Amino acid sequence: MKEYVIDAKEMAEKELNRSIKEQSSSHDKLIIENPESKHNICAGLSEDVDIEINGSAGYFVGTMVNGPKIHINGNAGWFAGDNMTKGELIIEGTAGDGAGQGIYGGTVIVKGNTGSRTGEIMKGGTVIIGGNSGFMTGLLMMGGKLIILGDVTDDVGESIMRGSIFVLGDVKSLGKNATMDQITSEDQKELKEVLTKYGFELSDEDYTNFKKIVNIQ
């Protein structure tokens, strides 16, 4: 595996992204040191390359990516994985508002808590939150699967059109057009497959305790 290390400490955001795009065409893995919460890291990247970010990222990390696997050993700001079409974004820490906003495909995983509007207007793909999520989680959701292992606050699934929201913890309130549906054995099987793949260890009882939120129809 060909690796390349980028020290982002003295780089402006545009310079950093230019370097990422240039090096991703000839390397299998890029390691970004000292990201210092810069915004728009990996924006628009379409190479099938592994990216390891050692530190925290700012707003719009992984926005509009189509292919890369990005692993952040830290936290992320607002709109992590925004409008992803293909790829993977794993955040070991927490993320701000709008994690997984508008994704068409791929997978966004936040191991800790997220802010409000997680998975808003997502059209496909999968968003997994290992902790809690804020208000209007799944706002205007149009498709895909949104999985919350912790609690969610007010107005979950506000104006949801399609897709499914699964919550293991407590749901404070549902938004307009959202309702609780019966979780099926097929749902449980799919949840177990994806959560086990990403290292989440749940009991068989946990899978029966997920709440499923969908459009009222």
pLDDT at 123: 98
pLDDT at 159: 97
Residue from 173, 180, 171 nearest 217 by CA: 180
| CB 144, CB 124: distance < 8 Å | yes
| CB 133, CB 125: distance < 8 Å | no
- Which strands form 211-215's sheet, in the order they lie side by side? 3-7, 29-33, 50-54, 66-72, 86-91, 107-110, 126-129, 142-148, 162-167, 211-215, 178-181
Residue from 150, 145, 129, 126 nearest 206 by CA: 150
Contacts with 103 (C-beta within 8 Å, 6 or more apart), sequence order: 81, 82, 83, 84, 85, 119, 122, 123, 124, 125, 127, 144
Residue 4, H or E segment: strand 3-7
pLDDT at 217: 81
Query: Per-block average pLDDT, block size 10, for the chain (217 residues)?
Result: 95 97 96 98 97 98 98 98 98 98 98 98 98 98 98 98 98 97 96 97 96 95
